[in-house]
Each structure stands twice: as structure tokens, then as C-alpha cells.
């Protein structure tokens, strides 16, 4: 079976949309139901001392560790936003062992500390690795333009152009400019193929903005959808996107190959 199911999800630091309830355990249960092979997660809380004191059920353990242990994933965490007694960032969780883990700082100001997390995995029936990039971009479009350039430069210089690639995350792109600003320049394809089909993912209870993205390169997209309804609308402030992808024929390991 060479197909992979992947999902991207801003988990809002393990809290409900208005930060009134701790939801990390419920998120773990919901994510388990997706049976995703690889998770691209944003706003993953590494530590938050004040919330540990305020909420009896807020864990001191990093949330990516909680999810990886409960769901039996390998995990890589990229710390982006660090403050006194708290930090958070992106994480990639994978059922396939993670062979590379690198975090790129793409912050353009002091107020929004952002990153691009780069991992690579080797599916057993693929002849080449799969490049996984998890991103969280700024709210302002001028800032995002600078981040598009930083991501372009990184992929162009640090990623093998012949490897299959997934770039997923919270692009904060309600003006729908990321395809022109990034996708076309790198030969990336949105799993929904065009913005007219892009599902609304924010706010989760009544979504009207398309903020989240999954881009691919050298992959075939079998299906793509947003996860709506319960329990998702009561967990984070975002809805997840999920897609099933397959390698192109030339990347499928031939019988007898090591």
C-alpha cells in the first residue's frame, strides 16, 4: 500500500477556541480517528507555566509528546514562539520513522514568531524519501510575502527537487495569495486544485475563511476534504484538512529492490 493519508491542523495550543477548556486529550482521540499517517500541526504548546497553574487538567508535558505517545507516532517539534514560562511551535508526527528534523526561523518581526519545520520520512514502498514541511505564517500579507520568499529560498536550496514534497500548515491566507506567491514558483499543487474549491477552516464553529493549506509536489492526490461537524467544531478554533496522496509511478519501489 503506497498511499499515505496526511492531515494539517492548528491545535490552538491544546485549548478550545476561547481558551476556556483544555482539549488536548479530546484532540488526541479525534486525531486517532483520522488514521492519518502524517500530521502537520501548528500552535503546539511545548510548555505554559501559567496555564498549568490555572487549569488542573492542563498538562506540563509538551503536547507533541502527549499526542505521539497516545497515538504511537514519531515526533519532531520546532520551537518558534518563546516567552517567559511558555513556548509553542510546529510539530510533525509520523507513523513512519523521521529521518531528518530541521526548524527554520521565518519570523519577520518580534510579535509573530514563526517557523518552517522540515522533516523527511522514508515510506517502505517508496524509492525516495518524502519531504514534509510544516508552516505557520503571519497575519499581515506584507509579512507573508517575505515568508513566501524565505520558504522559496529554503526549498530551492535545501530540498532535493526530485523528491516528493508536502508543504502544509496555517497560512493565514484569507486573501488567497499563497498560490501566486509561493505555489507556482515552486511547482506546488494545492490538494484542492484551486481556491474555488478550498474549504473554509476558520473559525471552526462557523467557518468562513480559508486559512489552511496543503500543497504537494511529485504526488498524486486521491482525495481531500476538511473535517467538519462534531467533535472538530468544539476543539480548536481551526478545522483540520486531510488528504490521501500517492507517489508517482517512478517513485514506487520495484519488487526486489532494497
Lowest mean pLDDT among 182-186, 236-240, 242-246: 182-186
Confidence of residue 91 (pLDDT cuts 50, 70, 90): very high
What cell numbers appear for 23 in the block?
482539549
Task: Please give the full DSSP string across 103-125, using - where no structure is assigned.
Answer: EEE---SSSS--EEEEEEE--TT
Lowest mean pLDDT among 2-11, 168-177, 248-257: 248-257
Average pLDDT over the chain, rounded to an integer? 93
What secondary structure letter does DSSP report for 202? Answer: B
Distance CA 128, CA 80 (A): 29
- What local confidence, expressed as pLDDT, does residue 254 receive? 75
Quick check: 19 pLDDT over 90?
A: yes
- What local confidence, expressed as pLDDT, does residue 196 receive? 67
Three-class secondary structure of residue 69 per DSSP: helix
Confidence of residue 58 (pLDDT cuts 50, 70, 90): very high
| Cα atoms found within 13 Å of the Cα of residue 214, Cβ hemisphere only | 30
- What local confidence, expressed as pLDDT, does residue 258 receive? 45
Share of the chain above pLDDT 70, in %: 97
89-122 burial, b for 16+ CB within 10 Å, e for fewer?
bbbbbbbbebeebebbebbbeeebbbbbbbbbbe
pTM for the full predicted model: 0.95
- What local confidence, expressed as pLDDT, does residue 253 receive? 80
Quick check: 257 pLDDT over 80?
A: no
- What local confidence, expressed as pLDDT, does residue 1 receive? 57
Of residues 98 and 197, the one with the higher pLDDT is: 98
Quick check: 14 pLDDT over 80?
A: yes
| Cα atoms found within 13 Å of the Cα of residue 4, Cβ hemisphere only | 28
Lowest mean pLDDT among 205-209, 221-225, 246-250: 246-250
What average pLDDT does range 95-117 have in this prediction? 95
CB-neighbour burial class of residue 130 (10 A; exposed 0-12, middle 13-18, buried 19+): buried
Query: What element of type H or E holds 142?
Result: helix 141-158
CB-neighbour burial class of residue 258 (10 A; exposed 0-12, middle 13-18, buried 19+): exposed
List Cβ neighbours of 130 (8 Å cut-off, separation of 6 or more): 4, 120, 121, 122, 123, 163, 164, 165, 166, 247
Query: What element of type H or E holds 101?
Result: strand 98-105
What cell numbers appear for 50 in the block?
501559567
- What local confidence, expressed as pLDDT, does residue 177 receive? 85
Amino acid at each position: 500500500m503506497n498511499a499515505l493519508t496526511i492531515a494539517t491542523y492548528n491545535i490552538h495550543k491544546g485549548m478550545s477556541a476561547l481558551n476556556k477548556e483544555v482539549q488536548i486529550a479530546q484532540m488526541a482521540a479525534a486525531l486517532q480517528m483520522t488514521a492519518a499517517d502524517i500530521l502537520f500541526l501548528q500552535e503546539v504548546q511545548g510548555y505554559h507555566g501559567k496555564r498549568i497553574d490555572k487549569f488542573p487538567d492542563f498538562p506540563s508535558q509538551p503536547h507533541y509528546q502527549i499526542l505521539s505517545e497516545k497515538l504511537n507516532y514519531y515526533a519532531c517539534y520546532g520551537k518558534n514562539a518563546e516567552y517567559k514560562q511558555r513556548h509553542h511551535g510546529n510539530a510533525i508526527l509520523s507513523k513512519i520513522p523521521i529521518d531528518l528534523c530541521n526548524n527554520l526561523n521565518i519570523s519577520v518581526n518580534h510579535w509573530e514568531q514563526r517557523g518552517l519545520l522540515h522533516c523527511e520520512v522514508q515510506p517502505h514502498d517508496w524509492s525516495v524519501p518524502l519531504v514534509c514541511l510544516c508552516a505557520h505564517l503571519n497575519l499581515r500579507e506584507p509579512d507573508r510575502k517575505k515568508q513566501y520568499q524565505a520558504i522559496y529560498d529554503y526549498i530551492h536550496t535545501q530540498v532535493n527537487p526530485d523528491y516528493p514534497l508536502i508543504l502544509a500548515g496555517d497560512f493565514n491566507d484569507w486573501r488567497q495569495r499563497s498560490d501566486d506567491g509561493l505555489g507556482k514558483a515552486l511547482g506546488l499543487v494545492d490538494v484542492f486544485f484551486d481556491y474555488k474549491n478550498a474549504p473554509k477552516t476558520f473559525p471552526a464553529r462557523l467557518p468562513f475563511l480559508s486559512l489552511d493549506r496543503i500543497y504537494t509536489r511529485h504526488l498524486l492526490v486521491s482525495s481531500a476534504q476538511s473535517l467538519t461537524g462534531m467533535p472538530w467544531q468544539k476543539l480548536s478554533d481551526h478545522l483540520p484538512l486531510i488528504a490521501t496522496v500517492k507517489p508517482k509511478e517512478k517513485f514506487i519501489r520495484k519488487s526486489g529492490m532494497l
